[in-house]
């Protein structure tokens, strides 16, 4: 076991189910099949009880305390921070602090410097005394790790807004980038949609360089308060890093001499771009980070807080707040109703719920109403492609995504809807749009076509997270599975996707998971897709995947994988405490591969049945979702329900309901 940066091993002990969690009513001698069937019934009842009256499902989307800290900093910057919000946010942030004074970005993970800096500053805004034990532990740890100077760029931007960091010591991103044509390197469409929506408003902030009066000093977070901003040494000019560092220095020089009229025109163009992409609910892209930066940018350009754009934007942020029974307030980075609803529909149908069940029909009605039939930013690369996809969130018409579209089609095909013609037309549009979004290599990314430029990630500005949207195995697998269900297994475009997937298999037999943790998710996505598309269970790629899953199964019968498998796959790939969602992903692959009667499958099913709670749900504190591999992790609170129910349903009932309906 390798040591983490804080000197600990970073090992995660498996979380044993407590007496209150486990199902005591199942006799020890009951067969696996009986235990699974009972678990399916209870999980079905639980999931049905969670549906909203409008037809959708949505679990909490838990990330880390930087969301909460930045929400408070935004309110401080705009002059709208109130006591109730501050107190509730601070209660949540304090509750996430660990005994050593730090904060992590996922459950059981190592301490994170930037998260700890931002959480500390937020608690100071809330009035916590820097001399209090919990604050002193945090500031001491921050200094030991290099202080504010070692934090990520985005953290230092937030601090620069209040004079706690110098704008001159931040990477420059000029607003004139908004004018770069799409053929030019580093144009805004070279960035992934989430990055472009964040960078455009930040170019305005970078140009304006605002400083609000700091409510207190932060000397205790610098290793040398007398010289808090040590210069970073230049890399060799022949390296990419060195070249971009020198470009950044040129941009800093340009900032001082830029023509005021030209710069104002660029910022006005950026403002128009931002406003045109505000959604009907006031948010931007359905995610919190672009919203907060867009509000700051527009405010700096003179938009009053009472302006309809600003008012709607601020109101949208309140909808990202989850208020807990203890009075704490957690901010979601995003909301996932379309994704959760299509996955819940698949789970319930595969668990044996009748296709015409009223709650499935209501879910289908809601999903049909969420179809996006107007062009978005994806049309920059596909201007002649007719629209017809689904987004992840309640409102995100500019950025439908391929993963959601594929899964919504798979969900709709499981429902006996009262208006089959409406379903058919929606599915046809979704399939056409998805096929049209195929990248040159035959695979699919999440939001854009061929979003693979090597340059954005090399910018000094982009030192955090993934900033491009290349094709991934998990998204491609979901598309291939959907196309196969639609009878397009032999379509040349589907075959190209299959060939890409086979070429992307890791030497271990697993597949990398871009949007879920990690190799267990990738493998659990790809194997069912390949089998649905016609690959026999005896195919060498399928057998290698099965062998890998069996080697990484935990002693307790479940599967788990820690997020550290992203930076350290050799040590952590397929390894971690057993979780309900990851155990289900492994079972989905094994069942698709014909391993229903295998001992590994039975042990996994037994683990799910034994760890189910009395109310039919599962507990899962571990983060198994991925925003950016390693840098930004997600705990989808509904994953622990929908995926176990899907796996157990297929174990009890056989192949997916959609294949049975087609007589396959």
CA distance 295 to 314: 8
Where do we find the tokens 């705990």?
635
Per-residue tokens: 31? 């067969």
Report the Cα–Cα distance between both ends of the chain, in Å, rounded. 46
- Burial label, 289 (beta-carbon count in 10 A; 0-12, 13-18, 19+): buried
Query: The tokens of 324 are what?
Result: 């807990």
Three-state secondary structure along 379-424? Answer: HHCCCCCCCCEECCCCCCCCCCEHHHHHHHHHHHCCCCCCCHHHHH
Place of tokens 């198994």: 624
Q: Are 177 and 186 in contact (CB under 8 A)?
A: yes
Instruction: For residue 352, count CB atoms less than 10 angstroms from its CB and return exposed for 0-12, middle for 13-18, buried for 19 or more.
Output: middle
Strands 61-62 and 632-636, bridge-based pairing = antiparallel
**How far are the Cα atoms of 193, 201, 396, 439 from residue 380, in angstroms, in the given order?**
12, 20, 17, 14
User: How far is it, in rounded angstroms, from Cα 286 to Cα 399?
Assistant: 9
Q: What is the C-alpha radius of gyration for the chain, rounded to an integer number of angstroms? A: 25
Q: Residue 64 — φ and ψ, nearest 5°?
A: -150, 175
**Distance from CA of residue 275 to its chain's centroid?**
24
Contact yes or no for 593/527 (Cβ under 8 A)? yes
What is the SS3 string spanning 297-362? HHHHCCCCCCCHHHHHHHHHHHCCEEECCCCCEEECCECCHHHHHHHHHHHHHHCCCCCCCHHHHH
* Alpha-carbon distances, residue 204 vs 116, 208, 453, 481 (angstroms): 27, 6, 23, 43
- Contact assessment for residue 577 and residue 622, using Cβ atoms and an 8 Å cutoff: yes
Token pair listed for 3? 């040591």
HEC per residue, 200-258: HHHHHHHHHCCCCCCCCCCHHHCCCCCCCCCCCCCCCCCCHHHHHHHHHHHHHHHHHHC
- The residues with which 389 forms a beta bridge, in sequence order, are 372
Pick the closest to residue 134 from 170, 180, 100 (CA basis).
100
Phi, psi angle pair for 287, to nearest 5°: -130, 150
Q: How far apart are CA 601 and CA 607, in angstroms?
A: 10
Ramachandran region, residue 148 (left: φ > 0; alpha: ψ -120 to 50; beta: rest): alpha
3-state secondary structure of 128: coil
CA distance 512 to 521: 8
User: For residues 263 and 271, is the Cβ–Cβ distance under 8 A?
Assistant: no
Q: Which residues are catalytic?
A: 403
- Which residues are bridge partners to 278 per DSSP? 284
CA–CA distance, 624 with 636 (Å, rounded to integer): 7
């Amino acid at each position: 076991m390798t040591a983490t940066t804080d000197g600990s091993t970073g090992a995660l002990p498996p979380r044993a189910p407590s007496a209150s969690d486990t199902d005591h009513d199942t006799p020890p001698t009951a067969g696996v099949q009986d235990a699974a069937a009972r678990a399916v019934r209870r999980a079905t009842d639980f999931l049905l009880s969670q549906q909203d009256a409008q037809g959708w499902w949505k679990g909490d989307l838990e990330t880390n305390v930087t969301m909460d800290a930045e929400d408070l900093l935004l309110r401080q910057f705009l002059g709208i921070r109130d006591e109730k919000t501050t107190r509730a946010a601070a209660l949540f942030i304090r509750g996430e602090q660990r005994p050593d004074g730090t904060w992590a970005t996922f459950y059981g993970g190592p301490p994170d410097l930037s998260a700890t800096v931002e959480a500390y500053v937020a608690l100071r805004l809330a009035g916590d005394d820097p001399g209090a034990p919990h604050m002193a532990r945090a500031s001491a740890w921050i200094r030991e790790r290099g202080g504010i100077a070692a934090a990520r760029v985005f953290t230092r931007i937030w601090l620069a807004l209040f004079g706690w960091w110098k704008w001159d010591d931040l990477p420059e991103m000029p607003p004139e980038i908004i004018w770069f044509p799409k053929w030019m390197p580093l144009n805004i469409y070279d960035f992934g949609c989430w990055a472009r929506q964040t960078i455009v408003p930040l170019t305005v902030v970078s140009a304006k360089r605002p400083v609000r009066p700091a409510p207190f000093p932060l000397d205790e977070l610098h290793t040398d308060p007398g010289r808090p901003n040590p210069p970073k040494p230049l890399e060799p000019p022949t390296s990419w890093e060195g070249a971009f560092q020198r470009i950044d220095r040129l941009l800093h020089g340009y900032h001082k001499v830029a023509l005021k009229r030209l710069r104002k025109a660029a910022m006005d163009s950026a403002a128009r771009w931002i406003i045109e992409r505000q959604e009907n609910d006031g948010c931007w892209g359905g995610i919190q980070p672009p919203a907060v930066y867009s509000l700051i940018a527009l405010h700096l350009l003179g938009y009053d807080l009472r302006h309809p754009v600003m008012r709607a934007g601020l109101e949208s942020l309140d909808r990202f707040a989850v208020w807990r029974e203890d009075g704490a307030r957690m901010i979601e980075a995003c909301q996932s109703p379309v994704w959760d609803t299509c996955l819940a529909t698949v789970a319930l149908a595969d668990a044996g719920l009748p296709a015409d069940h009223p709650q499935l029909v209501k879910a289908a009605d809601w999903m049909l109403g969420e179809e996006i039939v107007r062009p978005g930013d994806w049309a920059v690369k596909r201007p002649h492609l007719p629209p017809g996809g689904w987004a992840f969130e309640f409102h995100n018409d500019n950025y439908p995504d391929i993963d959601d579209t594929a899964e919504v089609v798979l969900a709709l095909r499981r429902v006996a809807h009262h208006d089959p013609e409406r379903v058919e037309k929606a599915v046809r549009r979704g399939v056409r749009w998805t096929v049209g979004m195929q990248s040159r290599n035959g695979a699919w990314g999440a939001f854009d076509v061929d979003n693979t430029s090597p340059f954005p990630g090399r910018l000094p500005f982009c030192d955090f997270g993934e900033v491009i949207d290349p094709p991934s195995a998990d998204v491609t697998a979901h598309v291939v599975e959907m196309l196969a269900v639609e009878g397009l297994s032999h379509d040349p475009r589907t075959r190209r996707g299959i060939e890409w997937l086979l070429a992307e298999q890791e030497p271990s037999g697993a597949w990398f998971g871009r949007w879920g943790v990690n190799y267990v998710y990738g493998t659990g996505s790809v194997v069912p897709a390949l089998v649905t598309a016609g690959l026999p269970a005896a195919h060498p790629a399928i057998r290698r995947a099965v062998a890998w899953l069996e080697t990484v199964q935990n002693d307790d019968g479940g599967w788990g994988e820690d997020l550290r498998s992203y930076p350290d796959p050799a040590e952590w790939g397929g390894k971690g405490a057993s979780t309900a969602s990851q155990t289900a992903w492994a079972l989905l692959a094994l069942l698709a591969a014909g391993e229903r009667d295998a001992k590994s499958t039975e042990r996994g099913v037994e683990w799910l049945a034994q760890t189910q709670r009395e109310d039919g749900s599962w507990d899962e504190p571990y983060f198994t979702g991925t925003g950016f591999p390693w840098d930004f992790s997600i705990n989808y609170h509904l994953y622990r329900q929908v995926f176990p129910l899907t796996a157990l349903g297929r174990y009890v009932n056989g192949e997916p309901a959609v294949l049975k309906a087609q007589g396959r």
